[in-house]
Amino acid sequence: MMAEPAALLSAVVTILAVLFYFYAGLRVGAMRGKHGIKAPIMTGHPEMDRAVRVHMNTLEHLIIFLPLLWLATIYFHALPWLPAVAGLVWIIGRILYMTSYMADPDKRGTGFAIAGAANLVLLVLAIWGIVATWSAAAAS
């Protein structure tokens, strides 16, 4: 059975998000090596500390992003490609967050806001789709 195009798009976005998370983790390892910080120590050089925060903050936000992406994908049918597009915007926001945070932590706000806005869009799409689906089921 072939998956629907919207689900395939969101599957690709999910893989991209996971790959970004892996990359953020590799950056932590690279900073450990560069600055000679042995596990389990989590601090010791500002560049290492920033890499750890980017990695952990991404993990903290994946738990919000992934369910919203898939709820919106499953239930929002008006523009079926829109959840995947919002997911790509989330990834772009996270990349901007990472590059800005690594350069200057005070500059991380724009990337954080872009990713947050994408999550908000996904939340609205998920709620809209669930309500529409529930209403249609109740009407039949």
Residues 65, 97 contacting (CB under 8 angstroms): no
Q: Please give the residue range of the domain that contains residue 74.
A: 5-35+43-135
Residue type (1 letter), 101: Y
CA distance 5 to 26: 31
- Name the nearest CA neighbour of 119 among 60, 76, 80, 61: 61
The residues, ordered by sequence, that sit 6+ positions from 16 with a Cβ below 8 Å of its Cβ are 88, 91
Whether 140 maps to a domain, the answer reads: no
55-87 pLDDT, tens digit each: 999 999 999 999 999 999 999 999 999 999 999
pTM of the model: 0.94
pLDDT of residue 108: 96
| Residue in this structure with the two tokens 């529930």, named with its chain if needed | 134
Greatest alpha-carbon span in the chain: 65
Is residue 29 in a domain?
yes
* CATH code of the domain containing 94: 1.20.120.550
Whether the pLDDT of residue 31 is over 70: the answer is: yes
Q: Structurally, how many domains does the chain consist of?
A: 1
